[in-house]
Structure 1
Amino acid sequence: MNVVNLTGNSLTIEDLINVAANGYRVCLTEEAKERVTKAREIVDNIVDNSKIVYGITTGFGKFSDVTISGEQCKTLQRNLIMSHSCGTGRSFPKEITRAIMLLRANNLSKGYSGIRLSTLETLIDMINKGVHPAIPEKGSLGASGDLAPLSHMVLPMIGEGEAEFEGVMMSGREAMEKAGISLVELVAKEGLALINGTQVMTAVGAISLYKSMNLLKLSDIAAAMTLEALRGIRTAFDPRVHQVRPHKGQIDTAQNMLNLVEGSTFVTNQGEIRTQDAYTLRCVPQVHGASKDAVNYVKEKIEIEMNSVTDNPIVFENGDVISGGNFHGQPVALSFDFLGIAVAEIANISERRLERLINYQLNDLPPFLVKNGGLNSGFMITQYAAASLVSENKVLAHPASVDSIPSSANQEDHVSMGTIAARKSFDIVNNATRVVATELMAACQAIDFRDGLMLGKGTSEAYRIIRSKVSFIKEDTVMYKELDKCEELLLNGELLKAVEGKVKIEI
């Protein structure tokens, strides 16, 4: 059985993907259980002794000065979840929902939130048994955590809301009953412990990050194939050029290009056919490399956030309970905006290479890569569709983190909008994937118009995989179906796995 053990300190992007998409189970380590239990004892002591501590024996936000008696604590926690469940829009897909639940469980396992071990184990049972709460995409400001969406995550735990179980959406209570999981009666601090954190924005952003890391490798493959199709110049990727401007992403990309076209007779040397290529070919290392450096920066920040305490207040081992601001999403909000911009640029340059492939005024290939042009339109409108996605990305790439709006009667007067930034990055990555898939399909089409030449070590494998699903377009066909097939090879990992079995691709 494949299991991810939660320590609170060691969760990786790969762990998250395995739980979110690959069905891995989740377990708490014994050390984590001990930490959770000790923190709960501190909270129980506060309640038993009627101490005034924010979030435990007080109201929330602007109501932080309202004292709550021990008898009212259960009502307070239930009211918190129900009143904060104000999300709207479509529900997140199952993979993101599972990632949200995993990240919240990992946060709680660190032992700084004061939740009961039994309540945390209920959340983990939901992951393992496939009870997936309906969590609306919209409604979070990204400070005080992801309050609204995380409240929707909790609703089924208390017998409210909706959840998906075994492929069917039903009431939260019914889903819990069918899965054989007992409902929870929340006690002091537990409602707040479950919802005050950055796990929604981090989950969405982490999945976007994982997809973008793969896409950056695929974009190098696409660029290499286009380089070959256009008989481009390999000399621009000479390591000496990049060592004198030693950005890591740039150096890695140039080497990737050389690895992919190794042995190719399609590519040329400087001065053999032309002296220089257009920027979209010659500057692949500089453009793709900058995006790689950005993505690696984001990865560092996200893996910190995945293993951080983002609760408020925080319960420390010595009994101190401190109200701070770790729920504020600014560190990752900026990162997700950066991620969106970086990936939007990958789509931008890919669409321009697509234009160079299909525009006969820019190459020596048949117009729009089709025989009997006029009767057939060939790849003409594939560029239109790609251009529309690129333009949409330009709108989406506007940073969300520069915005803020006060909430809770101006008590919470600066917020991150990090969840919006994460959602935008997710959409940008999806759009960019379609653009790169379109470039790959067009590059294969262009390659087929050239005879007597040999593809490179990596590009020949990419060509083989694509041609196993997508045939040469002899005459006009229903194009989206062919594009869908090519895109699926990117999404399911088949293309990248095959190419990386032949050559090394760095990011």
Structure 2
Amino acid sequence: MTASPHHSVLRVGDGTLTSGDVERVARGEARVVLAPDVLDRVGRWAVRAAEYAGNRPIYGRSTGVGANRGVPVTPDAGHALRLLRSHATSAGPLRSPERVRAMLLVRLAQLAAGGNGIDPAVVQALVALLDADALPPVREWVGIGTGDLSALATTALVLTGEVPASRPVPMTVTFGPGDALAFLSSNAAALGDAALAVAALRRLAAASLVTGSLTLAAVRGNREAFAPAVAVATPFPGAATVCRTVRTLTDPSRDPGPRGADEPARPQGAESREVAGPRDDPRGVGGPARIQDPFGLRTMPQVHGALLDALDRAEAVVTAMATAPSENPALSPEHGVAHHGAFHAAYLGQALDALRLAVAEAAATTLSRVTMLAEPELTGDEPFLADGTPGASGTMVVEYVAAAVVGDLRASADPAGRHTVTVSRGLEDGASQASLAARETLGVVEPLRVLLGCELLTAARALGPLGPAATLPPALEPVLEAVAEAVPRLGDRADRDLTTDLEEAVRLVDGLPALAGASLG
């Protein structure tokens, strides 16, 4: 990730780091620089930590760790290196470059906060490692939510030159007596995974409002479920956002935006494209087909709103922990040395467990909408949006795919925090399992994307040239046009393998909010 004219620059050490920041660096879209005062701040704390160590025992510097906490050790580089080597033990497949970069950035941001006593040369070496994209070989099973010890020990050994990285290491350092545990004492790998998951899920949550709005249009759903009064009746920020966003996306009179010079203005009275409505609707095209829709549409503010609020909570926890000096022991100018348990990532684990549950509930309503689109009583179309051939299957198996994905998402909603363990001769008698929670949360991203692709493809088929749907709101026209371009056979309803169509729809999902102008802000 050496400097490039196409890279933005992320300054670390100013006290803020968002999931979006982590994602940009993880993708190689931004390079990292330190805020001007970081090295001075870290250096002052290193001097102060050495002074404290001269007056009292300090865990990990002058003692062993874990159940060996009461064993005095000689505070020298040999002790530090032994600690790093023993704690580098790990197993499982190697993590992706994106996840490793995310971990390195989070650890750098935490160390830049000061209060840890680490040598500023370690911080400089970590910046150089990121800049050179020389990534440590971090394996999958690295922690139990009480510190990602093996991942960070492996990283430290890369910084010493003892373990090879993915590229030559530009700067090596020697870990002194106060550096080893200070470097290890972090949940940076879990936080990196969490940040990547939150950033991706926020995009998908916005996309779900677009696909849900398409379904609402396809079945001529009732927009009353998203009225301002509903936001009052469901007094939470996420519900208000869903109501506002869906109202905007499904507004039949809303102009989608400025037109090009060569694009004709929309004729008066043609604010939206009209196609045939459900065949049994006596009111014709224009109004809602029902006084109340099934829950998959009617409860979107409550269910998808809860997902947005869970995302906000997870983002707040990630942002706070990614820049907090959480190393054990904590060093304070007012209170000196304080040994503590801030490495126990219960806040993170619980926020992520709640987020996965919210994803699973939103996924269930999404599956409900896919099912609606197969129902003639709701669409006014053929069963499964087929071509009318007796017994034709149409989109039947798209619904099966969606249901299979929802099964995975429901299984992933099992709270990781309930699987606590006791280790280190009984001394460490609890674990947040935030590492597991973060991996599981990152793991729901692709299944959710596929599920939304199922809804996108099915709703677009219902709204296509042969579809019945009612009035297509202007904000959704660019979405349908994008699907029609990506899926050339969208209008071909003869029974056929829809795998390629679905793959193309899935590829469009992340970009749906931009196409429709669906901002969650």
Q: Which secondary structure state, in structure 1, belongs to the residue aligned with residue 315 of structure 2?
A: helix
Q: 1:300 aligns with which of 316, 321, 337?
A: 316
Q: Which residue of 1 aligns with 2:263?
A: none
Q: Which secondary structure state, in structure 1, belongs to the residue aligned with residue 29 of structure 2?
A: coil
Q: Find out whether 1:80 has 2:83 as its counterpart.
A: yes
Distance in 1 between residues matched to 2:501 and 2:286, nearest whole Å? 35
Distance in 1 between residues matched to 2:244 and 2:218, nearest whole Å? 19
Q: Percent identity?
A: 25
Deviation of the 1:128 alpha carbon: 0.9
Q: Find out whether 1:496 has 2:513 as its counterpart.
A: yes
Q: 2:226 aligns with which of 211, 232, 237?
A: 237
**Aligned residue type for 2:78:** T
Q: Which secondary structure state, in structure 1, belongs to the residue aligned with residue 166 of structure 2?
A: strand
Q: Which residue of 2 aligns with 1:7?
A: 13
CA contact (8 A) 2:217 2:471 kept: no
Distance in 2 between residues matched to 1:489 and 1:457, nearest whole Å? 19
Distance in 2 between residues matched to 1:95 and 1:229, nearest whole Å? 38
The verdict on how the C-alpha distance between 1:347 and 1:164 changes in structure 2, with shifts beyond 3 A counting, is farther
Deviation of the 1:59 alpha carbon: 1.0
Range with greater deviation from structure 2 (113-122 or 452-461): 452-461
Q: Which secondary structure state, in structure 2, belongs to the residue aligned with residue 27 of structure 1?
A: strand
CA contact (8 A) 1:42 1:319 kept: no
Deviation of the 1:46 alpha carbon: 5.1
The residue correspondences of 1:358-377 to structure 2 (distance < 5 A) are: 358-360=374-376, 363-371=379-387, 373=389, 377=393
**Aligned residue type for 1:355:** T
The residue correspondences of 1:163-174 to structure 2 (distance < 5 A) are: 163-165=165-167
Q: 2:359 aligns with which of 330, 343, 352?
A: 343
Q: Which residue of 2 aligns with 1:279?
A: 295
Q: Which residue of 2 aligns with 1:55?
A: 60
Deviation of the 1:506 alpha carbon: 2.5
Deviation of the 1:232 alpha carbon: 1.4
Q: Which residue of 1 aligns with 2:73?
A: 68
Distance in 2 between residues matched to 1:29 and 1:97, nearest whole Å? 22
Q: Which residue of 2 aligns with 1:396?
A: 412
Deviation of the 1:65 alpha carbon: 1.3
How many pairs align?
A: 485
Distance in 2 between residues matched to 1:482 and 1:91, nearest whole Å? 32
CA contact (8 A) 2:63 2:73 kept: yes
Residues 415-449 of structure 1 show CA distances to partners (whole Å, capped at 9, x for unaligned) of 10011111111112321111011101110011112
Q: Which residue of 1 aligns with 2:447?
A: 431
Q: Find out whether 1:115 has 2:118 as its counterpart.
A: yes
Q: Which secondary structure state, in structure 2, belongs to the residue aligned with residue 315 of structure 1?
A: strand
The residue correspondences of 1:123-202 to structure 2 (distance < 5 A) are: 123-143=126-146, 145-165=147-167, 175-176=168-169, 181-202=170-191
CA contact (8 A) 1:438 1:483 kept: yes
Q: Which residue of 1 aligns with 2:256?
A: none
**Aligned residue type for 2:25:** V
TM-score after normalising by structure 2 = 0.87
Distance in 1 between residues matched to 2:401 and 2:51, nearest whole Å? 62
Q: Which residue of 1 aligns with 2:204?
A: 215
CA contact (8 A) 2:513 2:519 kept: no
The verdict on how the C-alpha distance between 1:489 and 1:63 changes in structure 2, with shifts beyond 3 A counting, is same
CA contact (8 A) 1:141 1:419 kept: yes
The verdict on how the C-alpha distance between 1:374 and 1:29 changes in structure 2, with shifts beyond 3 A counting, is same
CA contact (8 A) 1:344 1:393 kept: yes
Q: 2:217 aligns with which of 210, 223, 228?
A: 228
**Aligned residue type for 1:306:** A
Deviation of the 1:359 alpha carbon: 3.7
CA contact (8 A) 2:285 2:470 kept: no
Range with greater deviation from structure 2 (430-439 or 373-382): 373-382
**Aligned residue type for 2:41:** R
The residue correspondences of 1:336-485 to structure 2 (distance < 5 A) are: 336-360=352-376, 363-371=379-387, 373=389, 377-448=393-464, 449-450=466-467, 454-471=471-488, 472=490, 474=492, 475-485=494-504
Distance in 2 between residues matched to 1:467 and 1:232, nearest whole Å? 23
Residues 312-352 of structure 1 show CA distances to partners (whole Å, capped at 9, x for unaligned) of 11223468222111111001110010111111222211111
Q: Which secondary structure state, in structure 1, belongs to the residue aligned with residue 39 of structure 2?
A: helix
Q: Which secondary structure state, in structure 2, belongs to the residue aligned with residue 347 of structure 1?
A: helix
Deviation of the 1:452 alpha carbon: 9.2
Q: Which residue of 1 aligns with 2:40?
A: 34
**Aligned residue type for 1:465:** A
CA contact (8 A) 2:379 2:468 kept: no
**Aligned residue type for 1:396:** S
The verdict on how the C-alpha distance between 1:482 and 1:50 changes in structure 2, with shifts beyond 3 A counting, is same
Q: Which residue of 1 aligns with 2:520?
A: 506
Range with greater deviation from structure 2 (392-401 or 149-158): 149-158
Deviation of the 1:271 alpha carbon: 7.8
Q: 1:103 aligns with which of 98, 101, 106?
A: 106
Q: Which secondary structure state, in structure 2, belongs to the residue aligned with residue 164 of structure 1?
A: coil
The verdict on how the C-alpha distance between 1:360 and 1:88 changes in structure 2, with shifts beyond 3 A counting, is farther
**Aligned residue type for 2:296:** T
CA contact (8 A) 2:210 2:512 kept: no
Q: Which residue of 1 aligns with 2:257?
A: none
Q: Which secondary structure state, in structure 2, belongs to the residue aligned with residue 412 of structure 1?
A: coil
Distance in 2 between residues matched to 1:83 and 1:74, nearest whole Å? 14
Q: Which secondary structure state, in structure 1, belongs to the residue aligned with residue 140 of structure 2?
A: strand
The structure with the greater share of residues assigned to helix is 1
**Aligned residue type for 1:117:** P
Distance in 2 between residues matched to 1:415 and 1:104, nearest whole Å? 20
CA contact (8 A) 1:359 1:367 kept: yes
Deviation of the 1:480 alpha carbon: 2.6
Q: Which secondary structure state, in structure 1, belongs to the residue aligned with residue 165 of structure 2?
A: strand
Deviation of the 1:408 alpha carbon: 1.1
CA contact (8 A) 1:235 1:269 kept: no
Range with greater deviation from structure 2 (258-267 or 196-205): 258-267
Distance in 1 between residues matched to 2:340 and 2:469, nearest whole Å? 68
CA contact (8 A) 1:344 1:428 kept: no
The verdict on how the C-alpha distance between 1:272 and 1:421 changes in structure 2, with shifts beyond 3 A counting, is closer
Residues 457-485 of structure 1 show CA distances to partners (whole Å, capped at 9, x for unaligned) of 22112112222212315134543332222
Q: Which residue of 2 aligns with 1:171?
A: none
Residues 222-268 of structure 1 show CA distances to partners (whole Å, capped at 9, x for unaligned) of 11100111121223222223323322221221121110011155799
The verdict on how the C-alpha distance between 1:463 and 1:271 changes in structure 2, with shifts beyond 3 A counting, is closer
**Aligned residue type for 1:482:** D
Q: Which secondary structure state, in structure 1, belongs to the residue aligned with residue 373 of structure 2?
A: helix
Q: Which residue of 2 aligns with 1:44?
A: 50
Structure 1 portions without partners, runs of 5+: 166-174
RMSD value, Cα? 2.3
Residues 183-240 of structure 1 show CA distances to partners (whole Å, capped at 9, x for unaligned) of 2221112121221112111111111111111111111101110011112122322222
Q: Which secondary structure state, in structure 1, belongs to the residue aligned with residue 109 of structure 2?
A: helix
Deviation of the 1:152 alpha carbon: 2.6
